[in-house]
Amino acid sequence: MVETKTVVLYTAAAAIALGTDAAYFDYKRRTDPNFRKSIRREKKRHVKAQKAEAEAANAHQRQEIQLAVRQAQVDGFPTDVEEKEAYFMNEVARGEALCADPSTTVDAALCFYKALKVYPNPSDLISIYDKTVPKHVLDVLAQMLAIDHDIPTIPHA
């Protein structure tokens, strides 16, 4: 069994070592201009890397949204009233189920987008979405609608 003296001795040694390192780096930070510059440079590099990573993620998400909208248009939408009603109910139910998981935001928004495309009065449905759909899904849905207006519609065969 380990003696109490040994535990106290090792703990004190570790505390002294950490305190010495902290004091050294504090002294270095206060007095060495090159050290301060290197810390600032490292912070700037870190911020720039985070910004680039966020931009890459946004670009990837935009591309994923464009592909989803194009695929939905290629797949087409039902034209019969009863089919539209069933399609609408199915897509809204799927969208609500997918809203709970943040990793399926694009899929959830796509479901709401498809439901919106077959709804007879889209402006009414958008006001309902504003009240019921989470904001992160609503933002993606807004991007989908913007893309939908930019892409010419594909005639259904």
Locus of tokens 């206060």: 30
Report if residue 5 sits inside a domain.
no
Q: Provide the whole-model pTM.
A: 0.66
Is pLDDT above 50 for 22? yes
Residues 150 and 68: beta-carbon distance below 8 Å: no
- The confidence score (pLDDT) of residue 150 equals 56
What CA–CA distance (Å, rounded) separates 91 from 27?
Answer: 63
Backbone dihedral angles phi then psi of residue 2, each to the nearest 5 degrees: -85, 135
Position 40 in a domain: no
Q: Is the pLDDT of residue 149 over 80?
A: no
Question: What share of the chain in percent tops pLDDT 90?
Answer: 47
For position 29, what pLDDT does the model report?
A: 80
Mean pLDDT, the chain, whole residue set: 87
Q: How many structural domains is the chain composed of?
A: 1
Give me the pLDDT at residue 154, please. 43
Structural domain that includes position 81: 57-150
For the cut 60, the answer to whether the pLDDT of residue 153 exceeds it is: no
Helix 33-75 × helix 4-31 angle, to 10°: 90
pLDDT band with cut points at 50, 70 and 90 for residue 25: confident
Query: What stretches of 31-134 adopt beta strand conformation (E)?
Result: none
| Residue 28, in any domain of the structure | no
Asked, for residue 96, whether it belongs to a domain, the answer is yes
Dump pLDDT digits (tens) for 74-119. 888 888 889 999 999 999 999 999 988 888 899 999 999 999 999 9
CA–CA gap between residue 32 and residue 53 (Å, rounded): 32
Q: How many Cβ atoms sit within 10 Å of the Cβ of residue 136?
A: 13
Rg of the chain over Cα atoms, rounded to whole angstroms, equals 28
Tokens of 98: 């997918």
67 — phi, psi (to 5°)? -65, -40
- Mean per-residue pLDDT, 114-140: 91
In a domain, 100, yes or no: yes
State both tokens at 118.
């077959």
Q: Classify residue 9: in a domain, yes or no.
A: no
pLDDT (0 to 100) of residue 93: 93
Query: Residue 76, by phi and psi: left (phi above 0), alpha (psi -120 to 50) or beta?
Result: left
Does residue 77 sit within a domain? Answer: yes
Answer whether residue 145 is part of any domain.
Answer: yes
